[in-house]
Amino acid sequence: MLLPGKKVAIIEDPTGKGYHVKVGTSIGMNDGVVVEILKDEVVVEEKYLDETAQTRARKVSVKIPKDEDRGGEGR
């Protein structure tokens, strides 16, 4: 959902509970932080340990399905 001057996304967990997130919101199990919200995806930066035990970061894109992809009718 894009609002004037603000970008907010609604993320649903596996149990069906929804959460409003914005840039800077902590999310996920790998110390993820929302770094960007686009019209069709949310970009999360996660931290992980590589094979040399160094902390690294990776960006993961979470696609936002269109209403017709979810079977909705213009929600």
pLDDT in tens, 9-20: 988 888 999 999
Coil vs helix vs strand at 69: helix
Residue 8 CB coordination number (10 Å): 13
The full set of domain ranges for the chain reads 2-70
- Residue range 2-70 forms a domain whose CATH class is mainly beta
Q: What is the pTM of this model?
A: 0.75
- Long-range contacts, 65-73 (Cβ 8 Å, 24+): 66/40
What mean pLDDT value characterizes the chain?
A: 85
